[in-house]
Amino acid sequence: MEKVKIGLLGYGVVGSSVYRLLTKERVRILEGTGVDLEVTRIAEMDTTKHGADAPASLFTTDGSAVVEDPSIDVVVELFGGVDAAFELISCALRNGKNVVTANKQLLANRGAALFELAREKGRQIRFEASVGGAIPIIKVMRESMFAAELHTVYGIVNGTTNYILTAMLRGEGDYAATLARAQELGYAEADPTADVNGADAAAKMAILASIAFHSRVTLQDVTFEGIASIQPEDIAYARDLGFVIKLVGSARLLDEQVNVRVAPTLVPAGHPLAGINGSYNAVLLVGHAIDEIMLSGPGAGGLQTSTAVISDIVSIVSTKTTGFMQNCSCYRALPLLAEEEMRSAFFIRVRVEDRPGVLAQLASIFGERDVSIESLIQKGHGDQAELVLITHPSPEKDFRAALEAIAGLSSVRSRPMTIRVLG
């Protein structure tokens, strides 16, 4: 029997779930692996949590006491944040410890330096819980999909926004009302900014793109938009046109250039991602060798996320050597493809004067920039009309130029609302 001692950094929802699940499954893990996993130190700043589910003697308020403890073999970082977590993990690696982290912001901002340090020290960094909660997407992409020639990764990777958009689709309220409900149910934080503005999903997509294309993508390389501007009428029009609206992360490899972004997106009703509802997450992988593979499941929650953390711990203790598959797989440095060069189709909703010639005027502006219209809905509102259009794919720089010209017309009564269409 091998004994492995674990130090936890953070005892919040996920940290406490990791402790409880490890304690509950300790015998089963020992029987299956021959390794006895024991949490021996816990760093937690909130002293009210000391001794709540674990013996008070395990707790400290000093993270350094955990990462510098010579008896600890594996450090599990669940503090969150970037700078302090970076210093603690760096110290753990320098002290010869393997690391498990769920910290997407850290990896998306400063992951390269940590992976390089792990390589130098012959240690592992595992991070399954950083992206999809209980979904084992990191392991699948790094190991099973290595030869799949991935060129596209689509992700619904934020449970808060997916819950809100699902509730709006079901007619349970507008954005503000459904966000408040999500907070009541624990699907959204008291400060939900990083979720609803797309930053959380952007960090996750940076990690997924780095693994998929073996080229480092940071959070600064990802453009992102949130869902606060989505109105119930957008969702209703999308449904009438055969779509649902989701916050979709997209990582594309086109002509050996990488583009990664997160934005509200119209997803065709028959697409696999369209049926991912509530707080569930999903990642769709597309490759030349595999066609399409999708993984879905709970994207958040202490118990669900803790299963990914413990899986990483078991992977570490079951792997006696380190190397490519255990740390960073970024061996290329691919250029980024500028947003304006991407080809996209768009949903547009705009209010105009209800008089002859206005639609022709808009169509002429689009036509001058080689943006063609695929479908159109027009509804009258007194002396105004609401136009809803879907375009065929075109270079985004041409579409944006046409949109600016349309917004400047005297017949246009509102700023055009635009949402990308998947594909």
Q: Are 366 and 401 within one domain?
A: yes
Q: Are 169 and 293 within one domain?
A: yes
From 3, 49, 104, 204, the catalytic residue: 204
Q: Determine, yes or no, domain membership for 276.
A: yes
What count of residues does the chain have?
423
Q: Are 171 and 127 within one domain?
A: no
Q: Determine, yes or no, domain membership for 332.
A: no
Domain total for the chain?
A: 3
First vs last C-alpha separation in the chain: 52
Q: Are 143 and 262 within one domain?
A: yes
Q: Are 403 and 379 within one domain?
A: yes
**pLDDT reported for residue 322:** 61
User: Any residues with CB less than 8 A from the CB of 380 and at least 6 apart, and which?
Assistant: 354
**pLDDT reported for residue 265:** 98
User: Any residues with CB less than 8 A from the CB of 216 and at least 6 apart, and which?
Assistant: 111, 112, 210, 330, 333
Residue-range definition of the domain harbouring residue 401 = 340-421
**pLDDT reported for residue 235:** 97
Q: Is 204 a catalytic residue?
A: yes
CA–CA gap between residue 339 and residue 119 (Å, rounded): 33
Q: Are 224 and 276 within one domain?
A: yes
φ, ψ for residue 219, nearest 5 deg: -60, -35
Whichever domain contains 279, its CATH number is 3.30.360.10
Largest CA distance in the chain: 83
Q: Are 272 and 155 within one domain?
A: yes
Q: Determine, yes or no, domain membership for 335.
A: no
User: Any residues with CB less than 8 A from the CB of 287 and at least 6 apart, and which?
Assistant: 145, 148, 149, 150, 151, 152
Q: Determine, yes or no, domain membership for 331.
A: no
Q: Are 100 and 248 within one domain?
A: no
CA–CA gap between residue 225 and residue 306 (Å, rounded): 29
Whichever domain contains 71, its CATH number is 3.40.50.720
Q: Are 173 and 274 within one domain?
A: yes
Q: What is the pLDDT along the chain (423 residues), one digit of tens a residue?
A: 789 999 999 999 999 999 999 999 999 999 998 999 999 999 999 999 999 899 999 999 999 999 999 999 999 999 999 999 999 999 999 999 999 999 999 999 999 999 999 999 999 999 999 998 889 999 999 888 988 999 999 999 999 999 999 999 999 999 999 999 999 988 888 899 999 999 999 999 999 999 999 999 999 999 999 999 999 999 999 999 999 999 999 999 999 999 999 999 999 999 999 999 999 999 999 999 999 999 999 877 788 889 999 999 999 988 866 655 556 678 899 999 999 999 999 999 999 999 888 999 999 999 999 999 999 999 887 789 999 999 999 999 999 999 999 999 999 998 999 999 998
Q: Are 237 and 105 within one domain?
A: no
Q: Are 7 and 107 within one domain?
A: yes
**pLDDT reported for residue 52:** 86
Q: Determine, yes or no, domain membership for 184.
A: yes
Q: Determine, yes or no, domain membership for 227.
A: yes
Burial 71-83 (b: 16+ CB within 10 A, else e): ebbbbbbbbbeee
Of the candidates 118, 71, 63, the one whose C-alpha atom is nearest the C-alpha of residue 90 is: 118
Q: Determine, yes or no, domain membership for 22.
A: yes
Q: Determine, yes or no, domain membership for 334.
A: no
Q: Are 279 and 390 within one domain?
A: no
